[in-house]
Structure 1
Amino acid sequence: MSGIVVVGAGQAGASLVAELRKQGCDNQITLIGSEPVPPYQRPPLSKGYLLGDMTVERLFLRPESFYADQGITLRTATQVDAVDRAARTLSIDDETLGYDQLVFTTGSVPRTLPASIGGDLGGVFVVRTLADVDAMAGFVKDGAKALIVGGGYIGLEAAAVASKLGVHVTLVEMADRILQRVAAPETSDYFRALHSAHGVEILEGTGLNRLIGEGVVTAAELSDATTLDVDFVIVGVGIQPDTRLAQDAGLEIDNGIAVDAFGQTSDPYIWAAGDCCSFPYRGGRLRLESVPNAIDQAECVARNLLGAQEAYVPKPWFWSDQYDVKLQIAGLNTGYNRIVTRPGAGQSTSFWYYQDDTLLAVDAMNDPRGYMIGKRLIEAGKSPDPALVADPDADLKALLTR
């Protein structure tokens, strides 16, 4: 027997193999990762790690010894070339590895700038892997000039860390406002003011024409024809699901690897979890890019590999750390048509997303209580009176019992 093979050694892959053993699985388990290190946390890469507050070892999700202790074969620095579904094998260089059940936890890959506008120049970085941040570290220093392309959470987090390290930061966002794809104008306004207060120049409605340099980037020409001198560039224009192997193998792809409610793909011997896949949700399909989803869905798939037949029900939540502000997001705001603001003390506030009278999501800045109560309300299917939410003197906790 070839056992269970998991391709992708990130948060989802690490969570899945650990859950298999926790549930008493005695099959052979192999976890394959393309990077030369054990599974590690990605969110701290552009924060604590780049700031120098975290060592590499502290990034690891579990000590390297965990995998051997649990009888899990961890293969790092290993690239899977192809999947033969008929033979149930993987091609790895000159090796063929068999599987009884295969799981894709391949995650996502960052979108990059095309070489035609200078995206292949030295000093141009994405923030996705340990190697990315290690390569960037020498550029991020006091007095340097940086251009950040993209005003989503990736770009804003990178701007916050660079600014804290003394870098002069200009951020360009092609859309009318930062966070336009993922947040309400109120949240955009909050973070625009926060970054401006820390000296970051944010240019909205502004694109990048090209990067300039001989081998290494030295300047950037923007869509308004202005030219900026830059020492390095960080590209934060989103990520896309890593579906290469699955697509080449002929699996169904629909905004990621398409899986059913149990995590099974169009091939009964192949499963998927995490950023790389989409699953049924409220009559459509949903793909979530978050650490909590990677953990929860992977653990659910692990149980289903052992026969649980447990449908995955997401409880979406996200977070972002910028300067001394922690943003916590509960729910999904798709379809909102009303924002209710609940003011707090200092930088504490929260924005509550409603579709008519139905609460959909909450953005809470330095407001853990508002976040937790909002999350519990959403998960319970309760929608409090917006007037009570907006009243800073109203007891939020009491809303749970209404």
Structure 2
Amino acid sequence: MSSPFYSEDHDAFRETVRRFVQKEVEPHINEWDEAEAFPRELYKRAGELGLLGLGLPEEYGGVPADNFMKIIAAQEVSRAGSGGIKASLFSSNIGAPPIAAAANEAVKARVLPEIISGRKISALAITEPSGGSDVANLLTTARRDRDHYVVNGEKTFITSGMRADYLTVAVRTGELGAGGVSLLLIDGDTPGISRTPLKKMGWWCSDTATIHFDDCRVPAENLIGQEGGGFKVIMRNFNSERMGLAAGCAAFAQVCVDEAIAYAKERRAFGKPIAQHQVIRHKLVDMAQRVAATQYMLEALAWRLDQGDSPVAEICMLKNLSTQTLAFCASEAVQIFGGAGFIRGVKVERIYREVKVTAIGGGTEEIMKDLASRQMGF
């Protein structure tokens, strides 16, 4: 997709990531999906390209990046047609930024180089069995005991939760409500941690887990930011997460368009390719129209963010628009494919299975509407 927002450096980066995906991801994605895992080595290869350090501090191996670089990374990896690859490979995009923004220098120096290089995996652990989007009322506790916190509780639906070496965990250190929420960096090998893998409708190759904390002793120096200041750090992180989700949705929707067009040109019915039937042509136009509108909104908001704006309401609306666009395009693509779209190993089949999680993760559609309305003053 051409856009005035992209420079020659952006285009060169896009080509680098595209070659990486074509060579090292696409040929294997069906196998990885069926195996419900992908090689850990892929993190290192992504780290070598700088994909895991976009926007993170250069002194720890990060790469200077505006929001358009992040969009390119998300969308090019999404071309493989696998939400599972994007979710797990980029779990550091939501696990590491709070560390970079608010952890002390000793913690940053210890963990960020390993995450950015792909030697270690980072995950964000916010959601609990009692609730996801209601961060202010989370129940996992961290009680101060001299120079440690003792953590007890449970997190669930955690992307990269089985393999993560570092967990950025939201805990309750104080009273009920947002003011009692803090963030801790918890090493994955801390005694008292246990993990349970979760089977899912989609994102098969992405490991997802419930994580249990039973009297886990965490050094007090692993506190990210100020005690009781975790809620603000989490909220700032959500803008970036939702932009990344929207970028992926727009890209997956475009894959559905591309795959449907290619199939419609080859598949014949009533003596001619189905692309020559008006009903199919109109479906394809409707799909492309929604993708274009979503992409334009995504890029406009990326530009505003790079100018220092914080358009929270619009980002919430974009997140919903992008997931609705993906749902429409995935459904129409499978319809165009007919029976072939119901067979595993076809991109549109996999994307169709992975639609629903996009309307849940990063804040549900209902929460996004409510947050947008409050930001708009009604």
Of the two, which has the highest radius of gyration?
Answer: 1
In the superposition, the TM-score normalised over structure 2's length comes to: 0.22
In the superposition, the TM-score normalised over structure 1's length comes to: 0.21
Greater strand share, structure number: 1
Greater RCO, 1 or 2 (C-alpha within 8 Å, sep 6+) = 2
